[in-house]
Amino acid sequence: MSNIVDPLVGQIASRIRAERENRRWTLAQLADASGVSPAMISRIERGESSPTAVLLGRLSAAFQLSIAALLDDAGTGPATGVRRGTEAAEWRDPGTGYRRRQITGPGFPAEIAEIHLPAGARVPYPAAAFAFIRQIVWVLDGRLTFHDGDAVHELGPGDTIELGEPAERAFVNATGSDCRYVVILTRHTQP
């Protein structure tokens, strides 16, 4: 095992393995559906490697789940009521330093997450990661360069973008300061 200290690594490992096994997929089938190598999926499922945000995006797309669903542990935190900021688990992308904190619980009809994107970070997602969801990005602090297919949007504090049809997208912080934004999504039945 590696020296990964992120407490969510085991939770993510269990969740990805459970999703794969519930579908009765082999590692090769999940690799084909996600574009992630069988060896990497195996390391993630054993808790030997923490997936990056990009890999989570690919895996969530293959499962037709949101990233929040892959990070969710139904046994943590209250389903309703007060959720203290200090109680919320924060996941950190080992590749970029991107940090994600889930705001809503598993029973809430919308998924809301707070994201900290470090200076110079770029996190791309495949179009399939946006299938079956409606999403809004709301910038709180800093600057976000948002690539939505071929379109590029420069967003600052208070700016929002409501995403349309699935497209390849990238969250980029081309500045020297951190960017903080909120992602709000709901599921719908057609991509």
pLDDT in tens, 105-120: 777 888 899 999 999 9
Mean pLDDT, residues 65-88: 65
pTM beyond 0.85: the answer is: no
Q: Is the pLDDT of residue 47 over 80?
A: yes
pLDDT in tens, 147-180: 999 999 999 999 999 998 989 999 999 999 999 9
With 0-12 / 13-18 / 19 or more C-beta atoms within 10 angstroms meaning exposed / middle / buried, residue 147 is middle
Q: Identify the residue whose tokens are 């598993």.
A: 106
Q: How far apart are CA 123 and CA 114, in angstroms?
A: 15
Mean pLDDT, residues 95-103: 89
Domain 85-187 bears CATH identifier 2.60.120.10: yes
Confidence of residue 191 (pLDDT cuts 50, 70, 90): very low
Across the chain, mean pLDDT equals 85
Three-state SS annotation for 108-125: CCCEEEEEEECCCCEEEE
Q: What is the pLDDT of residue 108?
A: 80
Rounded percentage of the chain residues whose pLDDT exceeds 90 = 46
Mean pLDDT, residues 16-37: 92
Q: Are 51 and 98 in contact (CB under 8 A)?
A: no
Q: Are 181 and 117 in contact (CB under 8 A)?
A: yes
Q: What is the pLDDT of residue 84?
A: 74
Q: How far apart are CA 105 and CA 143, in angstroms?
A: 28
List 181's β-bridge partners, or say none.
115, 139
- The better pLDDT of the pair 99, 53 is held by 99
Q: Identify the residue whose tokens are 């797309």.
A: 61
Helix (H, G, I), strand (E, B) or coil at 128: helix
With 0-12 / 13-18 / 19 or more C-beta atoms within 10 angstroms meaning exposed / middle / buried, residue 3 is exposed
Q: What is the pLDDT of residue 80?
A: 62
Structure tokens at 82: 């007060």
Segments making up each domain of the chain, as ranges = 8-71, 85-187
Mean pLDDT, residues 48-71: 82
What CATH code would you report for 8-71? 1.10.260.40
Q: How far apart are CA 71 and CA 66, in angstroms?
A: 9
Q: Is the pLDDT of residue 2 over 80?
A: no
Mean pLDDT, residues 42-53: 87
Q: Is the pLDDT of residue 72 over 60?
A: yes
Residue at 55: amino acid letter? L
- Alpha helices of the chain — where are they, by DSSP H? 8-22, 27-34, 38-45, 53-63, 67-71
Q: How far apart are CA 10 and CA 92, in angstroms?
A: 14
